Chains A and B, each alone.
Chain A
Amino acid sequence: MAHISTTAQERSLWDRLVNGLRNIAPIYVVLILLLIGIGTQNPTFLEPAGFLNLLRRAAPLMVLTAGQLFVIVTGGFDLSVGSMMSLTVIGASLLINNDPANTWWVILVLFGIGIFVGLLNGLIVSYLNVPSLIATLGMLLALRGAGLYWTGGAPRGYLTDNFRMFGRGWLEPFPMIERFPYAVLVLIVVSAAAIYLFNQTNLGKQLLAIGDNPRASRLAGIRVEKMRIVAFVLSAVTAVIAGILQGGFGGVNPDAGEGYELQAISAAVLGGAVLLGGRGSMPAAIAGALALEALFTLLNLLGLPKPLRDAVQGLIIIGAVAYAAYRSRRTR
């Protein structure tokens, strides 16, 4: 009467390798294919400098997706992150107002706003019982309105170079490749932190539990409300970071974050997250974001007009989720 299989140790290395390959999330394969595709169109992208550039441009979405995954595994959505990004850019430009000395405290204030918004989202979902779809949709509207109200309708203010450094700046000199984008540094730090939190701490496990079976989680002693709030705060904070990065390369654009929330959700789904919650992978989600950016880059290189990007994105989202649904049906 074997209780636990010991075959894990008994299985040969080859078997384990094959099994591991079979279990590899398809997103990594897709990502590699896309990168190869890009490479064929414009080989400079596969050189370190070019690749880093790609990463730099993808960094805001990747960071955003990492934060979004925390919310998705609890079974919710955070649709307010795009507007949060925009608000970050707007707020930064208005508050810094071209005075470099302001940059640092402004960044703190922006994080403060982000944490506040995340708290609010979390409180509404946890205590008012409003479904996250509606709650964050309402927040999206509110943030958009707040942003417009703050600027009085037209973009104002100016972002200083030390603020934009995060998005467009480089760390130089750097061994081997001369310079390393700050954005990618930020990306690496945030990704590492997100992966650690998700895979290696109680936080990740508890969020998965909540998405899987909220009632059982509560009865097991998980503070469901508190953890949901934490998830929304994490999501909002990554939105602020993404906004700072985005503000670095774009100008003061009040629509900086438009549409990013949907992209982040699609990326997470591409990475294997289930929208009902209880299942998801942080590295795969981040890879999903990179894959999306790679796809858009590829389409750009292929000469696809900008508006059609939306159409393509729509088709991809549908395709990704359909495939995931098909796969989950097959394994049952």
Chain B
Amino acid sequence: MAEPILEVRNITKRFPGVVALNDVSVGFVPGEVHAVVGENGAGKSTLMKILVGAYIPDEGEIIFQGQPRTFNHPREAQEAGISIIYQEFNLLPERTVAQNIFLGREPTRFGTIDRRQLRRQTLDVLKQVGGEGIISPDVEVKSLSVAEQQLVEIAKALSFDSKVLIMDEPTAALATHEVAILTDLIQKLIARGMAVIFISHRFTEVFDLAQTITVLKDGQHVATVPIREVTPGKVITMMVGRELDQYFPGLAKPEEIGEVMVKVENGRNAKLHDINLELRAGEIVGVAGLQGSGRTELAQALFGVEPFTGGTVIVKGEEMRVRKPHTAINARMGFVTEDRKAEGVLPNQPVSDNILVSVRALQSMLRRIKRTGTANRPGLVPELVKQVDVRTPSINQEVQYLSGGNQQKVILAKWLASTCDIFIFDEPTRGIDVDAKASIHEMIRELAQAGAAVLMISSELPEIIGMSDRIVVMWDGRISGELPPGASEEQIMFLATGHEEQEPSQLEGKAAGIEVGA
């Protein structure tokens, strides 16, 4: 193995009450893609933040290009040649691409900004990421797509002449084809000698992209191995310490599927058209599609966030106009949104209030509250916390202090509290570690088995294939086709890219080493 360009030795980092990293040593080699995996709380983010100077380790040292270094501010690491791209990008939406890339380093002439030079420099780096002709330096970042913004972030890193590029969940918000572009770019970067490090929960990408994989568990270093020496199953075992041979709970049997709970006929609005959809009790309908195909818009239309403007919606036999979330909730619908931080949790409120918020919203505002439940079910909160497996020191803990996975569980508990029988999930396991993922999958299946109708949107094809009793694929604001359970990734992708439904092809499914249990 070649000499590492960046190395951490015996790094320990403590926070009040927890040891985030314990004597961790890893080396990152130039010209290679190195994936770092581990459950939520394993220490991946902390390690990355130490590498870029956002955190200072309590013990241990960082060796960069052969020299011990300390970075007291992310800017120092950036200027030394280590860049990080966070999952939620660090871009200013109202400023232009050029202004974003060279923020704080604007070229000046006679005391004012030299616009021509700025533009030239920007075009230079855009070229290196393959964005020339596609992304203009003078365009405001807010008008770029997520994939384009990511290119801008990478361009920014290159403008610092980075030797090491760290990416946190780079493919989480990308559609499958944007991932292909990113993969190409990363190959180009490592060919130039860059060391690329990335954190990911998506094993398809990890096994596609990385040459080396490091597993962290509970703040400890478990292993660093070449990727060809392991399988996803083995990696997961290292991450959680037990054999996981069954990822997905079984699919519904035909007799378990009941009557139609939600029926949409010719639904349309500004972003959707020709939506004809049925959701039945006991059934999980998976919705697949590329970014921008209208999946979230479909969920939002059903839930009344961005209502349908035309067509009919029939909920449990009654025709309904769902114009606001309150109506949907009254009809016993629940919506676990894509972005839990922005749309799902009340960060400063305790777990109990978060869980009870929907129940209370349906009651009169003058109604007296019960701290841990409702008048009929006073112990509701502790019950649900247990059922959903929320790890929290107390139900009065403010939700903002919980990990992402636990926050997601609190959100699920919120809907369970409202006794919903129609559930919409939008990326239910995004950014969540393997253990919590499996547990959420189980819960979703249990909901269906209890008679609920479930709509599940996901960008992870294995999840769609593993969980859905029926697969609906969207493209360009409409449903491009429907597939039976167990369809292949190719079949789904075919429909997701706008091709008309054809005879089922003979393509084999690539399950990327993940098993579908029975």
Direct contact of A and B (CB under 8 A): yes
Please report A residues at the B interface, Cβ cutoff 8 Å.
Answer: 1, 3-5, 8, 197, 200-203, 205-206, 208-209, 212-213, 215-223, 227, 230, 274, 278-279
- Distance in angstroms from B327 CB to nearest chain A CB is 9
Q: Which chain B residues border A279 with CB–CB below 8 Å?
A: 348
**Chain A residue nearest in CB terms to B390:** A3
| A216–B326 CB distance below 8 A | no
- Known contacts: A4-B382, A202-B367, A223-B361. The answer to whether A212 contacts B346 by CB under 8 A is yes
Q: Which chain A residues border B266 with CB–CB below 8 Å?
A: none
**Chain A residue nearest in CB terms to B381:** A4
Q: Is B67 an interface residue (CB 8 A)?
A: no
| A221–B362 CB distance below 8 A | yes
Q: Is B305 an interface residue (CB 8 A)?
A: yes
- Distance in angstroms from B381 CB to nearest chain A CB is 9
| A203–B343 CB distance below 8 A | no
Interface size, chain B (Cβ < 8 Å): 44
| B326–A223 CB distance below 8 A | yes
Please report B residues at the A interface, Cβ cutoff 8 Å.
Answer: 303, 305, 324-326, 328-330, 335, 337, 342-349, 353, 356-358, 360-369, 382, 385-386, 389-395, 414, 418
| A222–B361 CB distance below 8 A | yes
Q: Which chain B residues border A209 with CB–CB below 8 Å?
A: 346, 349, 353, 357
The 6 closest A-B pairs by CB, nearest first: A221-B361, A221-B329, A203-B365, A278-B348, A212-B346, A222-B361
Alpha-carbon distance A227/B347, docked complex (angstroms): 19
Cβ 8 A contact of A221, one of B326, B353, B393: B326
| A219–B349 CB distance below 8 A | no
**Chain A residue nearest in CB terms to B396:** A8
| A201–B369 CB distance below 8 A | yes
Chain A residues touching B, majority SS: helix
- Known contacts: A205-B360, A213-B347. The answer to whether A219 contacts B335 by CB under 8 A is yes
Alpha-carbon distance A64/B470, docked complex (angstroms): 58
Q: Which chain B residues border A5 with CB–CB below 8 Å?
A: 393-394
Q: Which chain B residues border A227 with CB–CB below 8 Å?
A: 365
Alpha-carbon distance A203/B369, docked complex (angstroms): 9
Q: Which chain A residues border B349 with CB–CB below 8 Å?
A: 208-209, 212, 278
- Distance in angstroms from A92 CB to nearest chain B CB is 29
Q: Which chain A residues border B393 with CB–CB below 8 Å?
A: 4-5
Q: Which chain A residues border B345 with CB–CB below 8 Å?
A: 213, 216
Alpha-carbon distance A213/B354, docked complex (angstroms): 11
| A3–B392 CB distance below 8 A | yes
Q: Which chain A residues border B330 with CB–CB below 8 Å?
A: 221
Alpha-carbon distance A278/B391, docked complex (angstroms): 23
Alpha-carbon distance A71/B328, docked complex (angstroms): 27
Give the one of A1, A5, A216 with max B CB within 10 A: A216
Q: Which chain B residues border A274 with CB–CB below 8 Å?
A: 348
Alpha-carbon distance A200/B365, docked complex (angstroms): 10
Give the one of B346, B358, B366, B392 with max A CB within 10 A: B346
Q: Which chain B residues border A206 with CB–CB below 8 Å?
A: 357, 360-361, 365
